Structure formats: C-alpha cells, structure tokens
Amino acid sequence: MHEAKPRWRRILLKLSGEAFAGELGYGIDGKVVQRLASDILEVKEGMGVEVAVVVGGGNIWRGMKGAQGGLDRAQADYMGMLATVINALALQDVFEQMGAQTRLQSAIRMPQVAEEYIRRRAIRHLEKDRVVILAAGTGNPFFTSDTSAALRAVEIDADVLLKGTHGAVDGIYTADPQIDPTATKIDKLSYLDVINRDLRVMDQTAITHAKENSLPIVVFDVMGEGNLKGLLEGQTIGTIVE
C-alpha cells in the first residue's frame, strides 16, 4: 500500500561522486551510502516510485584534473568512468543488503560485474520494481556524468531528472553562495535562463539536452533530511528548471 501519489512516477536521480565521500572528502563513506540508499528505498517502496540512479566518480577521480596533470584527456575520462563503476558497485551492495532488487548497467562492457547498458532492458527492470543503477557515463570521453544523466533520463522515459547536490547547496543561486554571501536562491528557472546566465549547476550539454526533450530538472540537497521524499510529495524544495 503506497502512502500518496507521487509528483513523478519514474525518476532519474543523479548522485555526485563527492556525495559518496561524505566528510572524508575522498573515497567512499559507507554510512553516507547507507543513508542515500535508505532515502531512495523510502520513496520507492512507500510511494511506488520507479528509480534509476546515475552516479558520478569525482570522489575517486576526475578526468579534467587528470588532463590538467598531463594525461591524455580521453584516457583520463575513461579512468573517471571506471571510478563511477566503483561507486555504483558500493551502492548496489548497500541496496541489496537492505533487501532491494537491483540491476547495475554499465556503458562500458564488463560482464563480470555489470550488465551492458541496454535501454529496453533498463526500462523492463524499472517495470519489475528494481532499482536500476547506471554507471560509466555515456561510455564516451568528453562528456560529464551530468550529460549522461540527462541522456539516460530521456532514454528511459523518466518524468524528471533530480540532481542531488551535497555540501548544503540546496538549489540554484544567483551566485555561488559559498563565495558570495548576498547570493539568493532561485525557486524556478527556464532552461534558457540557466544557459544564458551561465549558471554552472550542470554542464550546458546536459541542460540543452533536457530542454530539447522537455525534461524537467530539479537541483536539490540530497543530503537534507526528508528532501527526496518531500520533493516527490510536491513540496517546494530546491530549484526546478523547466
């Protein structure tokens, strides 16, 4: 018996790799992963929401940093994609310990640890009430995990892309609130506002893809207690871009 009709029936949740690190700043904090998994299962089981998750890898490796350090950019990006698989495996393990059925799909073939990403199969898993974890970005260098989240959300017919931030950033601001104390939070924006004002909450490729496919994006603090559930109940949390 589900509690209430959710605002969106099928969601794609983008989790940054940095969120996995918690206060450690690097690697994976098991307690943080448990907290994220618990919040996701609360809306999946309590509200009947179908959930796909795209994970980043910035807690382990960033392709751009590697390129700045002298590595070939494409090679550095492939390393970043493998970092997302490490995070995805950790999240899958925690979900399964909590009794959830999951499927991990990777855009880079590695059959020993993950299914190959196949759109129709991912949708079928969602219909069978499994949490689908999508790793390895798009499988191509030069694209961020934000772009892969926008791409996958459209592919699997998600109703919304929820970009979960961390570090107490609870939406899109007029400026960086951690630098500018006069910055104010914006509740609602258009895609063009984000692009024209160069509000760097997601890369422009992701925003453009969402715009072209009328995919709403909500930027919110995924670490805030009750935020994910509140969003799906219809509360005004974070910033919506549509």
DSSP labels for 66-123?
Answer: HHHTTS-HHHHHHHHHHHHHHHHHHHHHHHHHTT--EEEEESS--TTT-EEP-HHHHH
The whole-number average pLDDT for the span 188-199 is 92
Q: For residue 231, what are its two tokens?
A: 């969003």
The answer to whether 12 and 160 have CB atoms below 8 angstroms apart is yes
pLDDT at 99: 97
DSSP 8-state secondary structure symbol assigned to residue 4 = S
| Better-predicted residue by pLDDT, 166 or 189 | 189
The whole-number average pLDDT for the span 216-222 is 96
Give percent of the chain with pLDDT exceeding 70.
Answer: 98
CA distance 82 to 88: 10
Does residue 234 sit in helix, strand or coil?
coil
Q: Is the pLDDT of residue 1 over 60?
A: no
CA distance 223 to 167: 8
- End-to-end CA separation in angstroms for the chain: 31
The answer to whether 184 and 199 have CB atoms below 8 angstroms apart is no
CA distance 20 to 238: 20
| Better-predicted residue by pLDDT, 65 or 124 | 124
CA distance 168 to 4: 28
CA distance 87 to 112: 16
Say how many C-beta atoms besides its own lie within 10 A of residue 226's C-beta: 12
Which domains are seen in the chain, by residue range? 10-241 (3.40.1160.10)
pTM of the model: 0.94
Q: pLDDT averaged over the chain?
A: 93
pLDDT at 63: 74
Cα–Cα separations (whole angstroms), residue 104 to 35, 36, 52, 143, 238: 19, 16, 10, 20, 28
The answer to whether 112 and 124 have CB atoms below 8 angstroms apart is no
| pLDDT tens-digit series, residues 196-212 | 988 878 889 999 999 99
Nearest to 92 by CA among 50, 132, 146: 132
Q: What's the pLDDT band for 110 if we cut at 50, 70, 90?
A: very high
The answer to whether 59 and 87 have CB atoms below 8 angstroms apart is yes
pLDDT at 180: 86
pLDDT at 167: 72
| pLDDT tens-digit series, residues 145-187 | 999 999 999 999 999 999 998 876 789 988 877 788 888 899 9
| Better-predicted residue by pLDDT, 45 or 62 | 45
DSSP-based helix, strand, coil % in the chain, nearest 5: 40, 20, 40
17-21, 22-26, 54-58, 144-148: lowest mean pLDDT where?
A: 22-26
